[in-house]
């Protein structure tokens, strides 16, 4: 094939393929309009809590495929992550460890690993857990943990309703 034929073949391919590609890229179905985080288990658990706390509608976390994040300027960044490890294994991070009970569930709080960040871990069942993480640059860590405890009570109530 000489250069002229190659150029014609390329032009023909572009004229045929590009319109099909544009149609494929711009076609819309009800599934395309759906929120991609709507079906994630973490967002399903977290959405009612986030809305109740005034954080708005959360979205799938960009950090973890098992997480869901909500942000509100005064409240901070709140992430709920589902973990396929039991509570003892999941809650083995840095920070001051406090064992507690939230809505009848054992829980572990890790405070002070970083300023303005608090984590609370709750068991989902004996093989899995959920991590709640709140980061706020405008408050000291104890204040952040107090806010997170209130949110953890709501999450624990949702977990109890699912049991």
Based on the fold, state whether residues 72 and 123 are members of the same structural domain.
Answer: yes
Based on the fold, state whether residues 83 and 30 are members of the same structural domain.
Answer: no
Residue 29 has pLDDT above 90, yes or no: no
Based on the fold, state whether residues 6 and 74 are members of the same structural domain.
Answer: no
Based on the fold, state whether residues 117 and 141 are members of the same structural domain.
Answer: yes
Based on the fold, state whether residues 98 and 148 are members of the same structural domain.
Answer: yes
Report the C-alpha gap between 30 and 34 in whole angstroms.
Answer: 7
Based on the fold, state whether residues 62 and 119 are members of the same structural domain.
Answer: yes
Based on the fold, state whether residues 1 and 61 are members of the same structural domain.
Answer: no
User: How confident is the model at residue 12, as a pLDDT?
Assistant: 40
Residue 79 has pLDDT above 80, yes or no: yes
Residue 6 has pLDDT above 80, yes or no: no
User: How confident is the model at residue 39, as a pLDDT?
Assistant: 61
Cβ contact 69:56 at 8 Å: no
Residue 2 has pLDDT above 60, yes or no: no
Q: What is the mean pLDDT of residues 32-50?
A: 74
Query: Domain of 119?
Result: 41-162
The DSSP code sequence of 53-87 is TT----EE-SS-TTEEEEEETTTEEEEEEEESS-H
Report the C-alpha gap between 29 and 147 in whole angstroms.
Answer: 40
Cβ within 8 Å of residue 108, ≥6 positions away: 87, 91, 97, 98, 99, 100, 120, 121
Name the least confident of 4-18, 50-64, 86-100, 125-139: 4-18
Q: SS3 of 110, please?
A: strand
Q: How many domains does the chain have?
A: 2
Q: What is the mean pLDDT of residues 1-13?
A: 44
pLDDT band with cut points at 50, 70 and 90 for residue 30: very low
In CATH, what number is assigned to the domain containing residue 45? 3.40.1000
Q: Report the mean per-residue pLDDT for the chain.
A: 79
Residue 152 has pLDDT above 60, yes or no: yes
Highest averaged pLDDT of the listed ranges 11-15, 36-40, 125-129: 125-129
User: How confident is the model at residue 31, as a pLDDT?
Assistant: 37
User: How confident is the model at residue 134, as a pLDDT?
Assistant: 94
Cβ contact 62:40 at 8 Å: no
């Amino acid at each position: 094939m000489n250069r002229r034929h190659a150029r014609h073949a390329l032009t023909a391919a572009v004229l045929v393929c590009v319109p099909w590609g544009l149609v494929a890229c711009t076609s819309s179905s009800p599934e395309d309009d759906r929120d991609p985080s709507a079906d994630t288990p973490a967002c399903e658990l977290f959405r009612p809590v986030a809305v109740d706390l005034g954080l708005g509608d959360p979205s799938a976390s960009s950090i973890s495929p098992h997480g869901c994040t909500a942000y509100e300027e005064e409240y901070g960044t709140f992430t709920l992550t589902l973990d396929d490890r039991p509570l003892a294994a999941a809650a083995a991070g840095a920070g001051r460890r406090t064992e507690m009970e939230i809505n009848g569930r054992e829980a572990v709080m890790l405070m002070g690993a970083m300023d303005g960040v608090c984590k609370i871990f709750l068991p989902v069942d004996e093989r899995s857990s959920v991590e709640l993480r709140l980061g706020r640059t405008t408050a000291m860590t104890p204040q952040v943990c107090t806010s997170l405890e209130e949110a953890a009570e709501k999450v624990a109530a949702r977990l109890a309703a699912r049991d």
